[in-house]
Amino acid sequence: MNRDFVRNLIVEESFAYGFTIAFWGSGLLLINEFGLLHTLGIVEYASGAITGFGVLAVATFGGAVDTVDMDESPSYFILAGIHYLSGLVPIAVTHGLIALAFGKAVTLFLTGMTVSICYNVFATFEEVLSEMAWRAEQTVLDEWK
């Protein structure tokens, strides 16, 4: 097995994997609650997901009409790619939204929106926690020198 290939594969697929777990898990909870969705329910869920990304984009970039240049390639913390929080918190939030019994249309829309927001916020949080763990490890290693 080519170790570099596997490393690159993990890095490239990590965030898509966590995103899939978040949406797939939440979607299964919705299907369990409301049955298989028809076109309108799917559009409600997808509209919420798109709205969530829009809310994040506007909050992060300060508006919706600027351009973004992303030439930089950030470092990657392995721990941040495991996605315990960003994959599982949206599922827990979906469970909570279903329990609130807002009705099918509102629940589908809010779930789509909160899964988008929760996944991205908690993926960022996982990155911060990973960086903190790395710094703590470096401090310990420096002290042992």
What single-letter amino acid sits at 81? Answer: G
Residue 34 or 71, more confident: 34
Q: Domain for residue 86, yes or no?
A: yes
Q: Categorize the per-residue pLDDT at 74 as very low, low, confident or very high, splitting at 50, 70 and 90.
A: low
Q: Which domain holds residue 133?
A: 3-65+77-144
Q: Domain for residue 71, yes or no?
A: no
Q: Domain for residue 135, yes or no?
A: yes
The predicted pLDDT at position 73 comes to: 64
| CB-CB contact of 114 with 90 (8 Å) | yes
pLDDT digits (tens, 9 = 90+) for 17-27: 899 999 999 99
Per-residue pLDDT for 76 more than 80?
no
Q: Domain for residue 10, yes or no?
A: yes
Q: Domain for residue 72, yes or no?
A: no
Q: Domain for residue 70, yes or no?
A: no
Q: Say how many C-beta atoms besides its own lie within 10 A of residue 142's C-beta.
A: 8
- As a dihedral over the C-alpha atoms of residue 105, residue 43, residue 27, residue 82, rounded to 10 degrees, the angle is -120
Mean pLDDT of the chain: 90
Using CA atoms, how far apart are residues 115 and 120, in angstroms rounded to an integer? 8
Q: Which helix (H) or strand (E) holds 74?
A: none
Q: Domain for residue 101, yes or no?
A: yes
